[in-house]
């Protein structure tokens, strides 16, 4: 086979000039997919040219992933046809799509975490010595690919020990290894740090130069504008327009995507007095992570009334453990937690909840909700005891409570009685926020509250956090999104390897300083 | 010299008694590596034991018996695979059903076999080697024992060095990832369950045709359950399974031998030894290597493609 990825090398001709029929690599016509109760794709057309980076833009639930899963053979369409590489195709499984030359990097990585990078790349592949594993041959081939596209990974490392950025590179190599002509990337930047994102974009541009076609699924306007040649926008399962990237802008795209004008920047007004009462006082707290290694090494923090305290840091530096320590699901080894003047170090979760601690957890589906329970049941998870009558659940009251919150927080659901898992990501987040804020807590720990949300969802969550803090409550905002931290926080602290590396008032904080501290550097004084 | 003799006979007996356990454990490792738990091992083994005994009795050929035992195990595994892999039914429920089915059916069909004498598998002497010290203990067994021993490196090789092994591993760890790389998840699981059933059936047949040399109702006496524990003990690795299987074979035998020595302890207590040891081993292995002891991540979970989380 060899490494013949440079076969269709006419990458100089990008969108705009010389568009001819033969240069289309993919045409999807009238694709329709119906899930029980939802039309995910409603007669979608999509055309992609050879060698371009094509953005597929849309809110969560707009049908981007469904459309690409159909192309990749994971879902069967209920209608429509696909023409790939000038041939009408029908993929019954991802295997078919791979053989035809289509690769996909999923949003949730499809890697076997207990295997090495090399074995993951080779998964299902027949090497020349098949059924033996010809590692030497594979290694050479991958090294060549790595060099061509500037994508490097440690072959012999297990996936479980890799950063998400590295895992993503394994995923991309996995596709490139199979000589794909078209590579689909589903929300590839949602888990990356800014530096890793830059690195990814560079690799994508290399691929495009080498004649590979890329479909880039995203809901981040800026990224779509930065890296693509053309953009197709989906809204509620329909194609609402394909645009040439250099002829469009953020505002137009947002309007097309959401269907109305959107506020692009939401900033919190500065808290008037800096002398708020401390709601939460974290004193020299030590804790270990799941693997038993020290994750928090003497954290000192104060969260005051009326403020949003932003905790900046690359994920995996103790944020998750800190969230759990405050909520009460992780043991504190040393140190104290003072909440509203009361030592809560040894309190259980229920007691902390009763005192007024709420939390939007990082992992919404795993720890934020019970996917199989209904929406109304999820809305009372924290306070279900209050919704009983003579020891039985009082479903009349529960339903009324749910209807009120669904209305107030704009949760899009067919009824309060459907399983919460059927909601889209953004609506799951609204559900959690509705539950946590409606309890009227004193402190809200919000961990990655807008991760994976679309423009409208982000706008909504940020407004809610701000208005909550302005009521005189306290928010601890844990986020990897530096822009978010900068826009919302009154004060910013940086965490690195379980230690607080810096504290800034917002006026004195700048991205560069925070960036240095986040990656373990020190500031010169 | 009595001690040496005792030891030699103990080694020999452990190997013989451990072989049924070894086959069933290896089979279950293959099945569980694919993500399918077969709690019905007890039922599968006992079916193999009875079928093997019956076929040997009728044909006079114990080898046909062993083969028939394997096929009986395969058929029971086929039921398990159809329900759990094709229909995505809960694996534990189907497995328990298999135990009841196997024990019930063999108890009923095997009524007339009780007390009969079938043609048993005869030991073969491997030249020279059996004259070495302890050689008689190790090199004077029936061929099934040696097939079991050879199976260990073979499975190790297949699981660790070939594409089949990688695919099996991937299907059991992350079926979605395997599926997206074009590996037919259901087919791999189906096949793994069948292999597991076949090997457990052979294990059962060895039990009735070489070790116990009789058929009684419920001959396996909980060995299927012990094998499920042995799978955990061996950390889903064939190379460890052989130690576990022989160790438990040894304990099984020891409980008899100690009676012969006459320790003045009740027979029933002696018979409890392997089972108590099972509990201890499980407890110990969990405490010792909690992190490293990785069960296949998708063990027990049916895989359905078009399902949101």
- What pLDDT is attached to residue A3? 39
Three-class secondary structure of residue A231 per DSSP: strand
CA-based nearest residue to A13, from A28, A24, A4, A27: A24
CA distance linking residue A377 with residue A368, whole number of Å = 13
Shortest CA gap A332–chain B (Å): 21
A345-349, A519-523, B17-21: the lowest-pLDDT one: A519-523
Q: Is the pLDDT of residue A123 over 60?
A: yes
**Beta strands B124-125 and B140-141: pairing type?**
antiparallel
A-B contacts at Cβ under 8 angstroms: 88
What average pLDDT does the segment A78-89 reach?
Answer: 94
Written as six digits, the tokens of A433 are 């926020």
Tell me which DSSP letter residue B129 carries. G
- What pLDDT is attached to residue B308? 41
Under an 8 Å CB criterion, which residues of A touch B?
72, 74-75, 93-96, 98-99, 104, 106, 109-115, 119-120, 122-127, 130-133, 174, 291, 365, 371, 421-422
Decide if B309 and A132 are in contact by the 8 Å CB cutoff: no
CA distance linking residue B157 with residue B146, whole number of Å = 17
Decide if A130 and B309 are in contact by the 8 Å CB cutoff: no
The residue of A118, A124, A183 whose CB has the most chain B CBs within 10 angstroms, and thus the best one to mutate to test that interface, is A124
- The crossing angle, in degrees rounded to 10, of helices B2-33 and B143-161 is 40
What average pLDDT does the segment A91-107 reach?
Answer: 91
Contacts of B277 (CB under 8 A, 6+ apart): B248, B251
CA-based nearest residue to A271, from A504, A508, A503, A489: A489
Written as six digits, the tokens of A62 are 């707009």
**Residue whose tokens read 């269907």:** A259
Phi-psi region of A142 (alpha: psi -120 to 50; beta: other; left: phi over 0): alpha
Decide if A93 and B184 are in contact by the 8 Å CB cutoff: yes
Q: Which of B174, B184, B309 sits opposite A112 (nearest CB)?
A: B174
Here the ipTM equals 0.87
Decide if B166 and A110 are in contact by the 8 Å CB cutoff: no
Residues in chain A with CB shorter than 8 Å from the CB of B173 are: 112-115
Decide if B167 and A124 are in contact by the 8 Å CB cutoff: yes
Q: Is the pLDDT of residue A34 over 60?
A: yes
- Encode pLDDT of B28-65 as tens digits: 999 999 999 999 999 999 999 999 999 999 999 999 99
Contact A315, A304 (CB under 8 A): no
- What pLDDT is attached to residue B309? 33
Decide whether A3-101+180-258 matches A303-333+341-518 in CATH topology: yes
Q: Which of B174, B182, B309 sits opposite A98 (nearest CB)?
A: B182
Contacts of A328 (CB under 8 A, 6+ apart): A344, A347, A348, A349, A351, A352, A357
A439-448, B234-243, B252-261: the lowest-pLDDT one: B252-261
What average pLDDT does the segment A411-426 reach?
Answer: 85
The residue of A131, A175, A365 whose CB has the most chain B CBs within 10 angstroms, and thus the best one to mutate to test that interface, is A131
Q: What count of other Cβ atoms lies within 10 Å of the Cβ of residue A356?
A: 17
The residue of A40, A63, A114 whose CB has the most chain B CBs within 10 angstroms, and thus the best one to mutate to test that interface, is A114
CA distance linking residue A46 with residue A86, whole number of Å = 14
Written as six digits, the tokens of B190 are 């189906």
pLDDT bucket at A6, cuts 50 / 70 / 90: very low
- Encode pLDDT of B182-212 as tens digits: 899 999 999 999 999 999 999 999 999 999 8
Q: Is the pLDDT of residue B24 over 80?
A: yes
CATH class of A3-101+180-258: alpha beta
Tell me which DSSP letter residue B220 carries. T
pLDDT bucket at A267, cuts 50 / 70 / 90: confident
Decide if B161 and A112 are in contact by the 8 Å CB cutoff: no
A321-330, B40-49, B129-138, B190-199: the lowest-pLDDT one: B129-138
**Beta strands A342-343 and A334-339: pairing type?**
antiparallel
Residues in chain A with CB shorter than 8 Å from the CB of B169 are: 112, 114-115
- What pLDDT is attached to residue B306? 61
- What pLDDT is attached to residue A176? 93
Decide if B181 and A98 are in contact by the 8 Å CB cutoff: yes
What values do phi and psi take at B68, rounded to 5? -65, -40
Tell me which DSSP letter residue A157 carries. S
Q: Which of B161, B163, B173 sits opposite A112 (nearest CB)?
A: B173
- Range with the largest mean pLDDT of A365-374, A393-402, A415-424: A393-402
> Burial code of A487-508, b = ≥16 C-beta within 10 A, e = fewer?
bbbbbbbbbbebebbbebebee
- What pLDDT is attached to residue A109? 87
- What pLDDT is attached to residue B157? 97
Q: Which residue of B has its CA nearest to A96?
A: B182
Domain boundaries, chain A: 3-101+180-258, 112-178, 303-333+341-518
What average pLDDT does the segment A390-409 reach?
Answer: 92
Q: Which fold has domain B2-293?
A: ABC transporter involved in vitamin B12 uptake, BtuC (1.10.3470)
Q: Is the pLDDT of residue B293 over 90?
A: no
Please give the C-alpha separations between residue A453 and each of A165, A393, A459, in angstroms, as whole numbers. 20, 33, 9
- What pLDDT is attached to residue A7? 38
Which secondary structure element, helix H or strand E, spans residue A460, and what is its range?
A: helix A455-470
CA distance linking residue A399 with residue A473, whole number of Å = 28
- Of B9 and A282, more confident: A282
Average pLDDT, chain A: 87
User: pTM of the predicted model, to two decimals?
Assistant: 0.77
A184-193, A208-217, A256-265: the lowest-pLDDT one: A256-265
Q: Is the pLDDT of residue B264 over 90?
A: no
Contact B33, B236 (CB under 8 A): yes
Q: Which residue of A has its CA nearest to B305?
A: A74
Decide if B164 and A131 are in contact by the 8 Å CB cutoff: yes
CA distance linking residue B225 with residue B45, whole number of Å = 10
Q: Is the pLDDT of residue B292 over 60?
A: no
CA distance linking residue B21 with residue B102, whole number of Å = 17
Residues in chain A with CB shorter than 8 Å from the CB of B307 are: none
Contact B246, B14 (CB under 8 A): yes
Contact B52, B142 (CB under 8 A): no
- What pLDDT is attached to residue A270? 65
Q: Is the pLDDT of residue A265 over 90?
A: no
- What pLDDT is attached to residue A17? 42
CA distance linking residue B58 with residue B60, whole number of Å = 6
- Encode pLDDT of A362-388 as tens digits: 888 888 899 889 999 999 998 888 899
Contacts of A78 (CB under 8 A, 6+ apart): A32, A33, A34
The alpha carbons of chain B give a radius of gyration, in whole angstroms, of 19
Q: Which residue of B has its CA nearest to A35?
A: B306
Residues in chain B with CB shorter than 8 Å from the CB of A106 are: 180
- What pLDDT is attached to residue A523? 74
CA-based nearest residue to B201, from B98, B39, B71: B71
- Encode pLDDT of B88-121 as tens digits: 999 999 999 999 999 999 999 999 999 898 888 8
The residue of A33, A112, A117 whose CB has the most chain B CBs within 10 angstroms, and thus the best one to mutate to test that interface, is A112
pLDDT bucket at A16, cuts 50 / 70 / 90: very low
Q: Which residue of B has its CA nearest to A119?
A: B166
Q: Which fold has domain A303-333+341-518?
A: Rossmann fold (3.40.50)
Question: In terms of C-beta density within 10 A (0-12 exposed, 13-18 middle, 19 or more buried), how is residue A230 classed?
Answer: buried
Decide if A130 and B184 are in contact by the 8 Å CB cutoff: no
């Amino acid at each position: 086979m060899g490494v013949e990825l440079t076969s269709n090398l006419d990458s100089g001709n990008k969108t705009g000039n010389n568009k001819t029929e033969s240069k289309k690599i993919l045409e999807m016509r009238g694709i329709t997919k119906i899930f029980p109760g939802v039309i995910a794709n409603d007669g979608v057309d999509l055309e992609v040219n050879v060698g371009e980076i094509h953005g597929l833009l849309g809110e969560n639930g707009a049908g981007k992933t469904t459309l690409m899963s159909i192309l990749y053979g994971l879902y069967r369409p209920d209608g429509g046809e696909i023409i790939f590489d000038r041939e009408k195709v029908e993929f019954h499984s991802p295997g078919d799509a791979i053989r035809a030359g289509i690769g996909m990097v999923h949003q949730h990585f499809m890697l076997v975490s207990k295997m090495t990078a090399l074995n993951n790349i080779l998964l299902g592949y027949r090497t020349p010595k098949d059924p033996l594993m010809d590692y030497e041959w594979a290694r050479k081939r991958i090294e060549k690919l790595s060099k061509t596209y500037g994508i490097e990974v440690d072959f012999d490392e297990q996936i479980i020990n890799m950063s998400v950025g590295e895992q993503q590179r394994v995923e991309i190599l996995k596709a490139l290894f199979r000589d794909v002509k078209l590579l689909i990337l589903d929300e590839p930047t949602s888990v990356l740090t800014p530096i890793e994102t830059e690195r990814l974009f560079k690799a994508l541009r290399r691929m495009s130069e080498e004649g590979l076609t890329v479909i880039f699924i995203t809901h981040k306007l800026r990224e779509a504008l930065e890296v693509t040649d053309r953009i197709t926008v989906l809204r509620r399962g329909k194609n609402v327009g394909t645009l040439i990237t250099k002829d469009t802008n953020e505002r137009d795209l947002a309007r097309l995507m959401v269907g109305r004008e959107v506020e692009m920047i939401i900033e919190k007004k500065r808290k008037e007095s800096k002398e708020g009462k401390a709601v939460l006082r974290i004193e020299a707290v030590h804790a270990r992570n799941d693997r038993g290694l020290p994750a928090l090494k003497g954290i000192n923090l104060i969260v005051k009334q009326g403020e949003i305290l932003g905790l900046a840091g690359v994920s995996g530096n103790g944020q998750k453990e800190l969230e759990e320590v405050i909520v009460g699901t992780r043991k504190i080894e040393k140190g104290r937690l003072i909440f509203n003047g009361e030592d809560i170090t040894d309190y259980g979760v229920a007691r902390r909840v009763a005192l007024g601690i709420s939390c939007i957890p990082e992992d919404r589906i795993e720890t934020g909700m019970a996917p199989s329970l209904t929406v109304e049941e999820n809305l009372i998870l924290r306070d279900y005891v209050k919704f009983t009558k003579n020891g039985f659940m009082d479903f009349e009251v529960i339903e009324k409570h749910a209807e009120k919150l669904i209305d107030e927080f704009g949760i899009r659901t067919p009824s309060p009685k459907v399983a919460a898992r059927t909601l889209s990501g953004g609506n799951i987040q609204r559900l959690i926020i509705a539950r946590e804020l409606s309890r009227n807590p004193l402190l809200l720990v919000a961990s990655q509250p807008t991760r994976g949300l679309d423009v409208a969802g982000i706008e909504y969550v940020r407004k809610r956090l701000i208005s909550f803090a302005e009521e005189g409550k306290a928010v601890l905002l844990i986020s990897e999104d530096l822009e978010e931290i900068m826009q919302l926080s009154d004060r910013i602290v940086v965490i690195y390897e379980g230690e607080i590396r810096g504290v800034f008032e917002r006026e004195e904080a700048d991205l560069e300083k925070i960036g240095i501290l986040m990656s373990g550097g020190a500031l010169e004084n | 010299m009595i001690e040496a003799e005792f030891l030699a006979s103990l080694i020999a007996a452990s190997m013989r008694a451990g072989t049924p356990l070894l086959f069933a454990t290896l089979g279950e490792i293959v099945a569980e590596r694919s993500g399918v738990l077969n709690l019905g091992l007890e039922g599968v083994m006992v079916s193999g034991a009875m079928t093997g005994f019956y076929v040997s009795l009728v044909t006079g050929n114990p080898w046909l018996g062993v083969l028939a035992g394997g096929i009986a195990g395969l058929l029971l595994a086929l039921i398990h695979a159809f329900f759990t892999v094709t229909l995505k039914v809960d694996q534990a429920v189907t497995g328990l059903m298999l135990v009841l089915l196997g024990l019930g059916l063999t108890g009923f069909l095997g009524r007339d076999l009780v007390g009969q004498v079938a043609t048993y598998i005869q030991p073969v002497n491997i030249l020279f080697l059996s004259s070495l010290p302890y050689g008689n203990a190790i090199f004077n067994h029936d061929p099934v024992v040696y097939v079991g021993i050879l199976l260990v490196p073979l499975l190790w090789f297949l699981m660790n060095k070939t594409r089949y092994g990688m695919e099996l591993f991937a299907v059991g760890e992350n079926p979605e990832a395997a599926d997206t790389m074009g590996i037919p998840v259901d087919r791999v699981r189906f096949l793994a369950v069948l292999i597991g059933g076949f090997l457990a059936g052979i294990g059962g047949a060895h039990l009735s045709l070489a070790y116990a040399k009789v058929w009684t109702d419920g001959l396996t006496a909980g060995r299927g359950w012990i094998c499920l524990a042995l799978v955990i003990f061996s950390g889903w690795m064939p190379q460890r399974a052989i130690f576990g299987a022989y160790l438990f074979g040894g304990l099984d035998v020891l409980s008899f031998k100690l009676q012969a020595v006459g320790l003045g302890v009740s027979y029933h207590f002696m018979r409890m030894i392997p089972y108590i040891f099972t509990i201890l081993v499980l407890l110990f292995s969990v405490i010792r290597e909690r992190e490293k002891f990785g069960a296949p991540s998708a063990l027990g979970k049916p895989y359905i493609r078009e399902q949101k989380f």
